A and B are shown apart, each in its own frame.
Chain A
Amino acid sequence: MPHLYLPIAGNSINVLVIFAVGGGVGLLSGIFGVGGGFLMTPLLIMLGIPPTVAAASDSNQIVGASTSGTLAHYRLGNVDFKMGILLLLGGVAGGTLGVQLIKILRASGNADFLINITYVVMLGFVGGYMFFESLQGLRKTEAAAAPPEPKDNAYARMMENLPWQTNFEKSGIRVSLMLPLFLGTMVGVLAAIMGVGGGFIMVPVMVYLLRMPMHVVVGTTLFQILFTCINVTIMQASTNHTVDFVLAVILLAGSTIGAQFGAKISRKMGGDQLKILLAVLVLLVMFKMLFHLLFPPEIMLAYMGGH
């Protein structure tokens, strides 16, 4: 078995196993368009990589993965740069705010409670909503006579009344500039608290709250994630020295190849089928977390940086 020593992780790994992990997560990402980070980091921890190194190196591999993804979607005209930049600005502000919030909470000893609860609630909410929404979608398709969506609800009216209404041509929507900035900030706060890129929260936010078309959502998320992860990689490397570049490259090779097969599977499935499967995946992760919260752990001490 070919082993490589990872100098930053301080452990040796089986190259084939790491390649397979990258491939497996890449396959799921290719199928669903989202969902690498929150699966990859726990898998790496299970393989003996320290939690802080696992998260930082995963960000490094996402830089590569989202570059090729953004390139592909840019060619197809699926990247709304204006929207992406606004969400990114909000995300950076929210991220900074979230990091400060965690610092204050850590000092008062309540950080881990908040992190765990945020995880479970967000995963449960996003997974649950997507599950029922796509289930309805599937039923509507079966009934073949979907009633028109009530467009004139309270949320839509409130959005229309916000100032600085702007056209987003690529997404084909007209909303206030404040909305993506505000939503980006919110996702940034949550992502910083949870220590993830925030892709799995950003996608539902774009689909349901900004009402962007799904194909533009995937391209724009990738564009935004690329910059978030470059920032995280450089910050982690300079302040905490936790980026293992060798690990990132092996994961990247695996995930890119996995994503190709995933994309092929994805094309053969309907949108609602995809959403319901992703919802199940998100809910499974949520139940796993809930299980760990409800049952006593095997060892009562743990290294810092894990959940």
Chain B
Amino acid sequence: MRNKFLPAIGLALVMLLVCAASGAAQTSSSIHLEPGTVSIGAMYNGAQVTLTGTIPASAQVLVEVKGERDKVVLSKKGKAFGLLWMNTGEVSLENAPTVYMLNLPEAYSSEEDGGNAALTSLGVGFDKLAGEVSIESSDCDANNKALFEEFVKLKKKEGLYALNNNAVKYTGEKNGVRSFSCNISLPPRMKQGDYVVTAVVIKDGKAAERDDRPLEIKRVGIPEFMAKVAYEHGALYGIIASVIAIMAGLGMGLIFGGDGGSH
């Protein structure tokens, strides 16, 4: 009787082990963001955070950084009277993230900067983003695709939208699992707010898993105090700023006894 059941129990154990092993490979994402909170102090000039983790050896990983979605109203350049280039209308973009950075491993890096079909099929990149943003223009015949491309150019110039090639590095491989790390440079223009860093794990050319980590950027110390006064007590801030400027001007005037500055 005992002998009769032994092979069955053994088989069940083997199957369980196989399942556990494949399961481990599937839910691969042990990711870690360091640091998860960035403080903007008086001498802040941008920061660097690092996302590390492990994925199956055969998989790839892309790292996406996204800001809160917002509405932004921009002025649109056009030709007035067919001659002069100036602001000729307004464009409002709804649901566009304040920040969008996509960090790519070597396998997905290309010379071509911008959205491409491979990235779109993985649910990332600027083309994918374009589909999520609604654009309204004061011109009826405006080309929304072209407008979004111009918006991306504007944000790229500020460093708030970026597509970084060769930015994900694979470091070691062991037992069918490999480690990755991605250094993310946060430009000083990234404002106080909540951001999300996502590891998109690619298996067999498909996005198999997305794992998020929150990233918080917050003002502390002097910048926080000044912003608080400026936004909550605007008139008082203006008066203090004027009084201090007058005192500084009088002080400079007394030191130099001179002709003052620019006006």
Contacts and interface: CB of A to CB of B under 8 A. Distances in A.
Interface stretch (B38-46, B61-69, B202-210): B38-46
Interface stretch (B14-22, B118-126, B230-238): B230-238
B191 interface: yes
Interface string A215-238: 000000110010000100111111
A63 B245 contact: yes
B117 interface: no
Interface in B212-263: 219, 222-224, 226-227, 230-231, 234-235, 237-242, 244-246, 248-250, 252-253, 256-263
B147 interface: yes
Task: Give the size category of B's interface with A.
Answer: 35 or more
Interface stretch (A132-140, A181-189, A239-247): A239-247
A127 interface: no
A164 interface: no
Given A34-B263, A259-B259, A301-B76, A238 B235 contact: yes
B12 interface: no
A150 interface: no
Contact of B263 (A225, A297, A301): A225
A233 B242 contact: yes
A162 interface: no
A102 interface: no
A118 interface: no
A176 interface: no
B150 A260 contact: no
A128 to B, nearest CB: 20
Interface in B55-85: 73-78, 80, 83-85
B44 A5 contact: yes
Contact of A245 (B75, B234, B244): B244
Interface stretch (B1-9, B86-94, B162-170, B175-183): B86-94
A236 B75 CA distance: 21
Interface residues of A, number: 81
B154 A233 contact: no
A95 interface: no
A5 B43 contact: yes
B85 A63 contact: no
A134 to B, nearest CB: 21
A298 B75 CA distance: 14
Nearest to A245: B241
Interface string B179-201: 00000000011010000000000
Interface of B: 40-46, 73-78, 80, 83-89, 91, 138, 146-147, 150-151, 153-154, 157-158, 188-189, 191, 219, 222-224, 226-227, 230-231, 234-235, 237-242, 244-246, 248-250, 252-253, 256-263
8 closest A-B pairs (Cβ-Cβ)? A69-B260, A36-B262, A237-B238, A67-B249, A65-B261, A68-B253, A255-B261, A29-B262
21 contacts: A5-B223, A7-B223, A7-B226, A8-B226, A10-B189, A64-B249, A66-B261, A68-B260, A69-B261, A109-B89, A112-B75, A237-B235, A245-B244, A249-B245, A256-B260, A259-B260, A263-B259, A293-B84, A293-B86, A294-B83, A301-B153
Given A3-B45, A4-B42, 9 more contacts: A5-B223, A39-B262, A62-B261, A63-B245, A68-B250, A72-B260, A256-B252, A263-B259, A302-B74
